[in-house]
Amino acid sequence: MRYRAFTLQTAVSQEREENRLPHYDNESEENRRARRIP
């Protein structure tokens, strides 16, 4: 349960970072996929 909550929180913070740095969108997308797949 804690792990899921943690991944969810990181995903939210990652989205905020994407909004701040749009040129890192591609990298964030790869990190997202890697984190979504356990």
The answer to whether the beta carbons of residues 18 and 24 sit under 8 Å apart is: yes
Q: Which residues contact 11 (CB under 8 A, 6 or more apart)?
A: 32, 35
Asked whether residue 2 carries a pLDDT value surpassing 70, the answer given is no
CA 8 from centre of chain:
8
- Residue pair 14/28 in contact by the 8 Å Cβ criterion: yes
Give residue 14's domain range. 2-36
pTM of the model: 0.26
pLDDT at residue 9 above 60?
Answer: yes
Asked whether residue 11 carries a pLDDT value surpassing 70, the answer given is yes
- Residue 8 pLDDT: 72
- Is 25 a residue whose pLDDT tops 60? no
Which of residues 30 and 27 earns the better pLDDT score?
A: 30
Mean pLDDT, to the nearest integer, of 12-33? Answer: 65
Q: Per the structure, how many domains does the chain have?
A: 1
